[in-house]
Amino acid sequence: MPIMGYPGENDTAAPARAHSGRGAAAWMLGMPIEEFSCVENGTEIAADLCIVGSGPAGLTIARELAGTGIDVLVVESGGLEPDPGIDALSRIVSVGAPRILEPTHVRNRIFGGSSHGWSGRCASFDDLDFAARPFVPLSGWPVAPAALAPYVARATRHLGLGPDRPEGRGLAAARLRPRPPLDPALLRHVAWQFSRDPVEPQAFMRFGRRFRACTAANIRILLHASVTHLTTGPCGAAAGTLIESLDVANLEGRRAVIRAPTVVLCAGGIENARLLLCSNRVCPAGVGNVHDLVGRTLMDHPRGSLLHFRLADAAAIRAIYGPYKLDSEQGRHVFADGVALSPAIRARRQLLNCAAWLHEVRAPDDPIDAARRLISRASEAPGRDAWAVASQPLRVLSGLHESLVRRRSVTHKLERSHFLCAVEQRPDPDSRIRLGARRDRLGLPVAEIDWRIGEQEIASLTMLARLIEAEFTRTGLPRPIVADWVDSGRYPAGALMDAAHPSGTTRMAADPRHGVVDENCQVHGVEGLFIAGSSVFPTAGHANPTLMIVALALRLADRLKARAAGQESGRRRSAEPAAGILVG
Ligand SMILES: Cc1cc2nc3c(=O)[nH]c(=O)nc-3n(C[C@H](O)[C@H](O)[C@H](O)COP(=O)(O)OP(=O)(O)OC[C@H]3O[C@@H](n4cnc5c(N)ncnc54)[C@H](O)[C@@H]3O)c2cc1C
């Protein structure tokens, strides 16, 4: 019987709670959500467990801890609505490979984190992604794929996904379309699935919106409260230290201290590292940074256009690599296929995991889009849109026929049909986040990011492009046109950008000399301080990160529950009074 659940899973409505001030409306939602501006300046807030950040990682853990008796406080820098002033706290200075600079395009400071604006594309890691590969220094996860598999399966439910592979069991229909006979020694088929909100299947899962519909008396949410410092006991002791408190602040100068014996950092791949580095009042190098690893081995998924197709071939390519739907017991799921390097060729040529998938860019004068804009009164250029509709009557009629009669998705007029690519990165200690000289409005040093893209990444993408070209030609598929930069061994500025997937900056390793967190995601040498999110990934495969982020968050939540239960029973056996602390 779930104690907290999504509507339909649990019909228990939380009683509306009386509360005054700016937080009042939020209290009515069922979840105790409070605005930091309603908290008295200088207050000390106590909790058993504090979660910093309310993105997919933080809210997955909170949801799992609902009803456990653990007093959980989720501290979120943003609010329920986007706010440019708050988003500006995520600004970076980029001194390495070009990254997207506009904060809202790559991170969202809002309840629900970047799931507020994400694209919902999910994929599993491959077994090889977890392996220690001699040609990828620092590779190898301290957790076996088999140990993570049950958490990945659980994570699919949190993300509104069906079984995570289209060929897997549990899907009512087999694939409707045959896959082209690409040589499996060279290329393999991969699939992505799109996260869907079970209540609003037209939308991707937005963690903030879904969580607000939940009820749980032991979870408190504090909005517009940014953590500015993590305070530990004395650092440098051989026996390690422990987390003691967190400082929080808002843009209006309000401050408070949170005392919690257990803290989980879920602030995202850049902010997790930045917060540890900024927390230098007790430990001058920052918390958990005895071996100077915090912020290093920054990885992302360098992404760009790898090859394109003639527009005359777009329909043939879409028939193979466009989205398709499969049904399971949980409902209808949307998949899309793509192509990746085979494990054999990766091992033989010492290459990284990389994959390519179809992306279509609609023409600005696509008459279907123009008609939609006109009908919904969203057109910014009504004359131009009206001309796009009037001058292409056949396209409009065929679109109506496809949508209303054949009930298929409409074929749009395209500007470009191409394969985008994403490549795994070799962990490079010089690819890193440092504290810059500039400060944000809370007085914290801005993250200075020196992101590096190495030769192995470019060589892997080059091989992928050339193999797709050769195999598509051999099997009679439309011949792609490979991007100009591919054979040059380098890439022009802007050809590859980050994919908003910062990873590896607090990497997981059993040995504290090689990683910031241990295999249970606890910061080495800091009792009670845990990290969730892609910053703990030792390597990041090609897969979009959120499925693995949620899987690791579920694993950590189980660990926190077991830890709390162990401490509770230990306390019952002890003659000492419990002092009101359940987790420590
Ligand atoms: C445009 C876009 C598209 C994307 N598409 C995909 C996709 O298709 N598939 C995929 O897998 N991933 C995608 N991602 C990435 C995905 O959104 C992230 O992997 C995921 O949201 C990370 O979850 P998280 O909980 O670790 O961190 P986040 O979602 O970043 O959440 C971190 C939270 O911590 C809060 N926070 C930060 N600092 C502090 C502080 N000091 N004090 C208090 N709170 C703080 C933030 O406000 C935020 O709410 C996309 C991202 C973007 C921006």
**Averages of pLDDT over each 10 residues, the chain, 584 residues:** 30 28 39 90 97 98 95 97 95 93 84 94 95 97 97 94 72 67 96 88 86 86 98 80 97 97 98 98 94 98 97 95 86 91 96 98 92 90 93 87 76 93 98 97 97 96 98 97 87 89 98 97 97 98 98 98 84 55 30
Q: What is the pLDDT of residue 167?
A: 67
Total of domains in the chain: 1
Does 316 map to a domain?
no
Cβ–Cβ under 8 Å, residues 428 and 452: yes
**Buried b or exposed e, range 275-296, using 16+ CB within 10 angstroms:** bbbbbbebbeebbbbbbebbbb
Q: Which of these, 128, 108, 129, lies nearest to 119 by C-alpha position?
A: 108
CA–CA separation, 345 and 351 (whole Å): 8
Please report, as a single letter, which amino acid is at residue 383: G
**Span from the CA of 523 to the centroid of ligand 1 (angstroms):** 21
For ligand 1, which residues put their CB under 6 angstroms from it?
A: 52-58, 75-78, 105-107, 109-110, 113-115, 117-122, 226-227, 266-268, 271, 275, 500-501, 533-534, 544-546, 549
Tokens of 119: 């694209």
Report which residue type is found at 251.
L
Ligand 1 atom with least separation from CA of 544: 11
Contact 124, 161 (CB under 8 A): no
Range of the domain at 229: 1-160+200-301+427-453+501-573+580-584
Please indicate, yes or no, if residue 29 is contained in any of the structural domains: yes
Closest Cα to atom 2 of ligand 1 = 118
Find the 82 Cα to ligand 1 centroid distance in Å: 14
Burial 338-364 (b: 16+ CB within 10 A, else e): bbbbbbebbeeeebbbbbbbbebeeee
Which regions of 392-528 does DSSP assign to beta strands (E)? 414-423, 432-439, 445-450, 481-482, 526-527
Give a yes or no: residue 374 inside a domain.
no
CA distance 483 to 485: 6
C-alpha 107 to ligand 1 mean position (Å): 6
Is 155 part of a structural domain of the chain?
yes
Query: Tokens representing 74?
Result: 């989720």
Which residue type sits at 212? R
49: CB partners within 8 A, 6+ apart: 65, 70, 71, 72, 73, 260, 261, 262, 263, 264, 560, 564, 583
CATH number at residue 96: 3.50.50.60
- Is this structure's pTM higher than 0.85? yes
C-alpha 315/C-alpha 309 separation (Å) is 10
Query: Is residue 442 domain-resident?
Result: yes
* Nearest Cα residue to atom 49 of ligand 1: 113
Contact 357, 321 (CB under 8 A): yes
> What confidence tens digit (pLDDT) does each residue in 480-490 have?
999 998 988 77
Of all protein residues, the one whose alpha carbon is nearest to atom 50 of ligand 1 is: 118
Ligand 1 atom having least distance to the Cα of 53: 34
CA–centroid distance, residue 270 to ligand 1 (Å): 10
Cβ atoms of residues 342 and 184 within 8 Å:
yes
Distance CA 354, CA 338 (A): 11
Indicate whether 309 belongs to any domain: no
> Which pLDDT tens digit goes with each residue over 545-557?
999 999 999 999 9
Substitution site in 118, 223, 446, 548 for ligand 1 pocket (most atoms within 8 Å of beta carbon): 118
Among protein residues, the one with the nearest Cα to ligand 1's atom 17 is 114
Query: Of ligand 1's atoms, which has the minimum distance to the CA of residue 267?
Result: 34
Specify if 129 maps to a domain: yes
Give the Å distance between the CA of 116 and the centre of ligand 1.
8
- Using the mean position of ligand 1's atoms as its centre, give its distance from the Cα of residue 108 in Å: 6
Determine the residue of 114, 158, 446 to mutate for testing ligand 1's pocket, defined as the one with the most ligand atoms within 8 A of the Cβ atom: 114
Q: Identify whether 474 is part of a domain.
A: no
Q: How far apart are CA 509 and CA 511, in angstroms?
A: 5
Report d(CA 481, CA 310) in Å as an integer.
8
The amino acid sitting at 202 is Q
Q: If you ran DSSP here, which 8-state letter would residue 302 be given? A: -
Q: Token pair 């069991």 is at which residue?
A: 169
Output the pLDDT for position 44. Answer: 97
